[in-house]
Amino acid sequence: MPRNPPHAMNIASKTGLLLFTGNSHPDLARLVASRLGLELAPCSVRNDENAETKVDIDCSVRGQDVFIIQTGSKEVNTSIMELLIMMYACKTSCAESIVAVIPYLPYSKQSKMRKRGSIPAKLLASLLCKAGMTHLITMDLHAKEIQGFFDVPVDNLRASPFLLQYIQEQIPDYRNAVIVAKNPGSARRAQSLAERLRLGLAVIHGETKEAESDAIDGRHSPPPVVAQNTGLEWPMLTAKEKPPINVVGDVGGRIAIIVDDIIDDVETFVACASMLKDRGAYKIYAMATHGLLSSDAPRLLEESTIDEIVVTNSVSHEVQKLQCHKIKTVDISVLISEAIRHFQHKHCQEEHQDEECEEDDHHDGRWLEVPQAVGRIARIRKITVNDEPLSDAEDDR
């Protein structure tokens, strides 16, 4: 990626904050930097001819608070390696703290054990922590339980206020709308949105394709067998039958707003939109925080009955917008910039309080320094009387 201007090297001396970005979403990083009144710190992230990732940090990060903005992208594994190497480079260069700003956390949909598989979300969390991450700022995790995979604090931001504002300002007659959950799993998210807007709720029930949990994996119950000496046959085990897809709720003559956290595989959205259209909805919106829109998703959306697709810029989708004019973007850079500002302000307050405590302690008495398991130095005051230490008996008293 292109290097930033040389005057960006003076940022740390003014604010104690350095803002880096990888190649996944530089436009979002520039928006965040402009809202913070900063320039992006100079660094170079590139791939060699053999596809190895190389990172050059072109300024000193010693003792500084480093923020790295890198989100999930189409080349997700490359984005992860860029982030890991950037964090490790800052760690080995003695940065005070390393905060990863990942609006869309990759592999967040793989947070549960599936048959003989694994939990890639846990593996990614371990890699990020091992590389030197001290704090994570992300947005609308696919499952809140993912926060427990990390050994560092996690800030899970919410984009719902921005989506609510879009509905109120950009959708005419939104009072005649109904919030639709495309499956029972997303009903809670849809219910939260509907309650804030004081709108009705509808849920699409049923599956149009085989659920992953029902796929053949060689571990089904054994076939019926005949018990010896009795001639009795065990009852036949039948597969689960999914109910036909159906809409629970009234959408006739109303605006239908389908909500979810991620829009990637759009076939389910297209099928839901067709059903809502058949049930009488006269306008259909699809709304989500993360618009991945992989493969031929733009073409399918363009040909579907969905009138508008609303996503945030947590993931870059400028190319997809050229293929589908229905895609609208909600800017969430202000949310990320405020999260960074609050984190930095709190960190500065803590440092200021520590300095005041050190100044007070210098005049109050004598201290001992004892190494702790976490690698920090704990200072224990030793009580004195006329500059003479108390005896053990007096200390116990």
Taking alpha carbons only, the member of 258, 283, 263 closest to residue 324 is 263
Q: How do beta strands 177-181 and 255-263 pair?
A: parallel
End position of a domain, from candidates 330, 363, 380: 330
Q: In the predicted model, is pLDDT for residue 9 greater than 80? A: no
Banded model confidence at residue 361, pLDDT cuts 50, 70, 90: low
User: How many domains is the chain built from?
Assistant: 2
Q: In the predicted model, is pLDDT for residue 188 greater than 70? A: yes
End position of a domain, from candidates 117, 142, 157: 157
For residue 184, the enclosing domain spans 160-208+242-330
Q: In the predicted model, is pLDDT for residue 79 greater than 80? A: yes
Report if residue 4 sits inside a domain: no
pLDDT value for 241: 64
- Same domain for 186 and 326, yes or no, is yes
Report if residue 63 sits inside a domain: yes
Report if residue 394 sits inside a domain: no
Q: What is the C-alpha end-to-end distance of the chain, expressed in Å?
A: 65
Report if residue 362 sits inside a domain: no
Report if residue 148 sits inside a domain: yes
Domain at 119, CATH number: 3.40.50.2020
- Same domain for 168 and 74, yes or no, is no
Q: Render pLDDT for 239-254 as a digit per residue (tens, 0 to 9).
A: 556 677 889 999 999 9
Q: What percent of the chain has pLDDT over 90?
A: 66
Taking alpha carbons only, the member of 250, 225, 249, 246 closest to residue 235 is 225
Query: Of 123-137, 146-160, 213-227, where does mean pLDDT reach its minimum?
Result: 213-227
pLDDT value for 55: 95
Cβ within 8 Å of residue 192, ≥6 positions away: 160
- Same domain for 178 and 78, yes or no, is no
**Cα separation of 244 and 250, whole Å?**
18
Cβ within 8 Å of residue 231, ≥6 positions away: none
The CA–CA distances, whole Å, from 86 to 7, 21, 53, 79, 166 equal 21, 9, 10, 11, 35
Q: Render pLDDT for 255-301 as a digit per residue (tens, 0 to 9).
A: 999 999 999 989 999 999 999 999 999 999 999 999 999 889 999 99
- Predicted TM-score (pTM) of the model is 0.79
- Same domain for 165 and 250, yes or no, is yes
Q: In the predicted model, is pLDDT for residue 216 greater than 70? A: no
- Same domain for 198 and 322, yes or no, is yes
pLDDT value for 71: 95
Q: In the predicted model, is pLDDT for residue 383 greater than 70? A: no
pLDDT value for 394: 43
- Same domain for 139 and 188, yes or no, is no
How far is C-alpha 25 from the geometric centre of its chain's CA atoms?
Answer: 14
Could you tell me which residue, 323 or 361, shows the higher pLDDT? 323
- Same domain for 24 and 138, yes or no, is yes
Report if residue 64 sits inside a domain: yes
End position of a domain, from candidates 330, 358, 390: 330
Q: In the predicted model, is pLDDT for residue 393 greater than 50? A: no
- Same domain for 153 and 168, yes or no, is no
Mean pLDDT of 193-202: 95
Report if residue 30 sits inside a domain: yes
- Same domain for 59 and 145, yes or no, is yes
- Same domain for 111 and 182, yes or no, is no
Banded model confidence at residue 91, pLDDT cuts 50, 70, 90: very high
Report if residue 347 sits inside a domain: no
Tokens standing for 320? 């997809």
- Same domain for 181 and 70, yes or no, is no
Residue 98 half-sphere exposure toward CB, CA atoms < 13 A: 24
- Same domain for 21 and 70, yes or no, is yes
